[in-house]
Amino acid sequence: MSPDTTHSESIPLLDLHEASVLRGERLILDRLSLRVAAGQHTAILGANGSGKSTLIRLIARQIYPLAREDNTPTIKVFGRDRWSVVELRSLIGIVSPAMQGDYTNEDAPLEVFDAVVSGFFAARGLWVDHHVTEAMRQHALEALAHVQATQFIGREMASLSTGEARRVLIARALVHRPRALLLDEPCTGLDPANRRRFLESLRQLAQRGVTLLLVTHHVEEILPEIDHVVLLREGRLLRKGSKASVLTHEALSEAFGMPMRVAQQGDYYHASVG
């Protein structure tokens, strides 16, 4: 599955300029500036409460930044500061554990294929006014095949394991053949074996040309294909750059507020409290 490449690769996926997000009286993001190039697989790393998930919600237009005094755009996605949510979702797929709860509700059963193909309508399941074309069906089947979830067709989402349901939601995000996939703590709730299988499926997507923006607080979840790391602390940019320059004892110790040790094992990095 190849993403749409009609847009110029010189236009950054994300261009953030001094973005601030206020919750109550607390700044969740504090004048954060960040630029992520199109095609640049990126991990956003930080402790709980560092602003990682808030940044994803900002990109997804689920929340908005404080207005700047000079009225200059604070956030641009693929070079534009104004998007409809439906239009943006056709370019960026989003997967998170919070989203999963909406689709695995036993009180409102939802079949797997319906969950995936309804992604074309930005809806939870299919409604009478939704016209599913043959092209949509084929894209949905293709997306399920790419995440090895075709065998779940006919089952209810609530009957799937955490890892299985997560794969189906990635298929849903892929039906538009998006240019990027935003993954907010995607391994939450997965046991070690299923986490590795899930990460391997993400590697395959990266190798097929889907840009990954991975939010995590686990260094070991940063895929080999990801070489750009953004380190956040208390809503501010602490460090950004290559894995080798960011995943250091010093930087992680500052980010997590205690001594950390970093080691590389094969293609992955690992961190532990020192």
Q: Evaluate whether residue 155 is within a structural domain.
A: yes
Q: Evaluate whether residue 104 is within a structural domain.
A: yes
Task: List the domain range (segments joined by +) for residue 146.
Answer: 92-175
Q: What is the pLDDT along the chain (274 residues), one digit of tens a residue?
A: 545 444 445 789 999 999 999 988 888 999 999 999 989 999 999 999 999 989 988 888 888 899 877 777 689 999 888 887 778 877 888 888 878 888 888 778 899 999 999 988 878 888 888 888 999 999 999 999 988 899 999 999 999 998 899 999 999 999 988 889 999 988 888 888 888 888 988 999 899 888 999 999 999 999 999 999 999 999 999 999 999 999 999 999 999 999 999 999 888 999 999 7
Q: Evaluate whether residue 159 is within a structural domain.
A: yes
Strand partners, 94: 182
Burial letters for 83-112: b for 16+ Cβ neighbours within 10 Å, e otherwise?
beeeebbbbbbbbbbeebeebbeeeeebbb
Q: Evaluate whether residue 223 is within a structural domain.
A: no
Q: Using CB atoms within 10 A of its CB, is residue 151 exposed (0-12), middle (13-18) or buried (19+)?
A: exposed
Query: What DSSP string describes 155-198?
Result: SBGGGS-HHHHHHHHHHHHHTT--SEEEEESTTTT--HHHHHHH
CA atoms within 13 A on the CB side of 197: 13
Cα-to-chain-centroid distance, residue 119: 16
Q: Evaluate whether residue 127 is within a structural domain.
A: yes
Instruction: Give how many domains the chain has, as a whole number.
Output: 1
pLDDT at site 1? 52
Q: Evaluate whether residue 113 is within a structural domain.
A: yes
Cα separations (Å) of 108 from 14, 68, 124, 129, 158?
36, 42, 10, 19, 9
Q: Evaluate whether residue 169 is within a structural domain.
A: yes
Q: Evaluate whether residue 134 is within a structural domain.
A: yes
